[in-house]
Amino acid sequence: MLEGKRVVLGVAGGIAAYKAIDVCRRLVDAGAHVVPVLTEGALHFVGRTTFDALGSERAWTSLWDEQRPIPHTHLGQTADLVIVAPATARVLGLYATGISDDLLTNILLATRAPVLVCPAMHTEMWEHAAVQDNLRVLRGRGVHVVEPEVGRLAGGDVGAGRLADPATIVEAATSLLLASASAPDLTGLRMIVTAGGTREPIDPVRFIGNRSSGKQGHAVAEEAAARGAKVTLVTTVRLPVSARIDAVRVDTAAEMEHAVLSRAESADVVVMAAAVADFRPVQAAPSKLKKAGGPPEVRLEPTVDILAELGGRRRPGQVLVGFAAETDDLRVHAAEKLQRKGIDLIVGNDISEPGVGFEHDTNAVVILGADGSSVEVPLADKRAIARAILDAISNARSSS
């Protein structure tokens, strides 16, 4: 299945390094060309000779290897996928902060291939705020994560942090490689994606807002850029954004309206993933409202319906995608919004379900098309949801 695919398998210094031997073997058996890269720490747990024997070529262990000058550039540029298994807290921290102090971290910064990290560490380390923050940063940049399992750890403890089963890791790697190979070519497609919830000021301190984290919109933008699209991301949140994306930062619905509508005419696709406020204060107070003055009277007015405006201005061949966050009768409400807005696709999710929608790293959606098509995507990480959305967009464009 993976014939012709070149995989860099990074092995970091943790007790779970022994499982990377099985990951290497399984990848080679599937037809992949596996290039093992072992950190100095990994060599305390596993031997280079083992990976020399099982990999498709001799293992790399040093940035200063005499086999080839600047090996990180060569290995990063030629990889179809980079896997780090196990990914220790040290490697995750270095990768998230852009510090390269050995061959593996240099490869991670030098590659444009998809990266799959498979964390493994003791429970206290896995749950530490710094580790979780680093993972959030990496996910925001499009790095794929195979979460550790709960099980027996070194020292006899039981808890979260055990490296995922090698079969699970290889399955995730295979999905990424096959998705990359079969993904519709979006090269040259001009796309606008919106993300996050708008903030409508009541006074200089307070605002009307919502719980949207912007993670799904950012995932759509990153996946579209990875598939060759020229992406403009209009976002209200400060998540990290790849250099290949043109990011436009806004706060209010009016600012988003201007940013989107001023660029929409030249866009082939507009994906309105942002949660735009339906109402805003008629006038924001110039200074902070004080409690002593009693409850303020805040008069509201409707904001511009950006998606409806796009529908009225759309040019032939342009694809418009809306989102519907619901708490009941998901399909009914999403279908009604699809028809009312006159758009091509609607992505609906039931935010009352566990792990779905706002603030989560996962989502589950139904994608309805104006042509009557319907795709249900079960709970998955938001990058996987983004791939399904882009596939639906590609299908809509090819059938129009």
Backbone phi and psi for residue 97, each to the nearest 5 degrees, phi listed first: -95, 0
d(CA 133, CA 127): 10
Q: How far is CA 46 from CA 18, 38, 43, 151, 394, in A?
A: 6, 9, 5, 21, 45
Q: How far is CA 226 from CA 57, 286, 297, in A?
A: 28, 43, 47
Query: Could you tell me if 118 and 160 are in contact, meaning their C-beta atoms sit under 8 angstroms apart?
Result: no
Which residues are within 8 A (CB) of 104 and not within 5 positions of it... i.e. 6 or more apart?
A: 10, 12, 37, 39, 84, 91
Q: Order the strands of the 345-350 sheet from edge to edge.
A: 246-249, 230-235, 190-195, 269-272, 319-326, 345-350, 362-369, 374-381
- Of the candidates 210, 349, 363, 395, the residue annotated as catalytic is 210
CB neighbour burial string for 356-389, b if at least 16 within 10 angstroms, e if fewer: bbbebbbbbbbbbbbeeeebebeebbbbbbbbbb
Q: How many CA atoms lie within 13 A of 219 on its CB side?
A: 24
d(CA 133, CA 256): 28
- 210 carries an active-site annotation: yes
- CA distance from start to end of the chain: 33
d(CA 251, CA 149): 39
| E-assigned strand segments in the chain | 6-11, 33-38, 81-87, 115-119, 144-145, 149-152, 158-162, 190-195, 200-201, 207-208, 230-235, 246-249, 269-272, 279-281, 300-302, 319-326, 345-350, 362-369, 374-381
Active site residues: 210
